[in-house]
Amino acid sequence: MSQTPVAAVRPARLPVLRSDGPPVGSPWPASARPASGGELLVGGVGLAEAADRFGTPLYVLDEDEVRQRARAYRTALPQAQVLYAAKAFLCSAMADWVAEEGLGLDVCSAGELRLAAATGFPPERILLHGNAKSPEELRLARRLRVGRIAIDGLAEIPRLAALAIADTPQRVLVRVLPDVPAGHHAAVRTGVAGQKFGFPIDGGDAAEAVDRVLAQPSLRLTGLHCHLGSQITEVEPYLTALDRLVALLSEIRDRHGVELPELDLGGGHGVRYRHGDQELDLADFAARVTAHLAARCADHGLSAPRLIVEPGRAIAAPAAVALYRVLSVKHGTDGRTFAAVDGGMSDNPRPALYGSRYAVRLVGRNSGAPTAAIDVVGRHCEAGDVLVHSAELPADLRPGDLLAVPAAGAYQLSMASGYNLVGRPAVVAVRDGRARLLIRRETVEDFQAREVGR
């Protein structure tokens, strides 16, 4: 193995984590604190200690960070209904925490719905959506008496109407496409035409869906729903969407004589993945969206509907740290260095799917070495299994070292796979210096248990 090329070595300039908390613009949980020996505390628990106790890869979830972020939404939007988007990450503990903080839940499958019901989550605070709800999912939603269902296809209207009865109508929203491009990648821009979600406003599809819902006495149309995309860091796309949604509300009033009382703007609120990244300013979003909605409704002679928002990433992502153990370090002849870890695209597919970029930090030992540009790569049989490109890490990085990746709480474990039959990592919750296991590590025996014949 060749030595690290001199050109790749850089003066040490790893981001500093202070004893009073992360600096402004940091992607780390607010509770992150340095400790002796290169240790890093989250929720009062040492990350290296947690890795030794529970193994790696490991996801460490800060309960207080989740709760504080949930409270921040309720404080910023006191008149709105805030629904946590379960697709970001859901487990029984997460459902409990958001319920206790007064949030509702946005689910998009029978699995998410059943888990929520098993925890005792109030069904009236649950919204079911999705572009391909099965008849079984609609029946389950009706049986559990969920608060709202977002209509996302014409076939759902008679199917759902047949399950409901006129004296207890099902509250529904119609998901519309305002044709506003927003989001960090084309694959997650869900508010524009030409993709699978919702009814376009332009061309009359949304109006037709509204007509059909209002013709069903067993359905109660309460409002419109839209979702623009993911990892949105500017307020302006939401304001543009409001212009088009309020105009449609006005047309519905003029055509049918009804004012719909709810307007769901979805979520997609962006967070920091690396130091200095831009994120959506919640206070600015709340103030400008609320004022804009009131102004546009006044222009059209409408009463302002109740706003609904669906943050998922903004609550879950900053609350978790992923931990990996370095298995090997290779110094290539082309000047590149690769550190292979014991996880990868099976627990975090986002870099491979979207080119997402992350921060990474050595924890568990001090290093006086200068930093080098090191690619942190996964263990899977794909050249694209790269977790962090050109990470600034100590040049003396070696097998056995522990690496921590912040902002790991959303769209990692929820999108995890069983590729190469590598089991999904364990999840532990930390709070007040204590760690408890929430989800155990998936094993080979778990994969074998699904087999029923040879």
Positions marked catalytic = 381
- Written in H, E and C, the secondary structure of the chain is CCCCCHHHEECCCCCCCECCECCCCCCCCCCCEECHHHCEEECCEEHHHHHHHHCCCEEEEEHHHHHHHHHHHHHHCCCCEEEEECCCCCCHHHHHHHHHCCCEEEECCHHHHHHHHHCCCCHHHEEECCCCCCHHHHHHHHHHCCCEEEECCCCHHHHHHHHCECCECEEEEEEEECCCCCCCCHHHCCCCCCCCCCEECCCCHHHHHHHHHHCCCCEEEEEEECCCCCCECCCHHHHHHHHHHHHHHHHHHHHHCCCCCEEECCCCECCCCCCCCCCCCHHHHHHHHHHHHHHHHHHCCCCCCEEEECCCHHHHHHHEEEEEEEEEEEECCCCCEEEEECCCCCCCCHHHHHCCCCCCEEECCCCCCCEEEEEEECCCCCCCCEEEEEEEEECCCCCCCEEEECCCCCCCHHHCCCHHHCCCCEEEEEECCEEEEEECCCCHHHHHHCCCCC
For residue 42, the 8-state DSSP code is E
Rounded alpha-carbon distances, angstroms, from residue 194 to 179, 187, 197 = 9, 12, 9
- Tokens at residue 189, please? 């821009």
Torsion 268-274-277-282 (CA) sign: positive
Q: C-alpha angle with apex 364: 90 to 23, nearest 5 degrees? A: 70
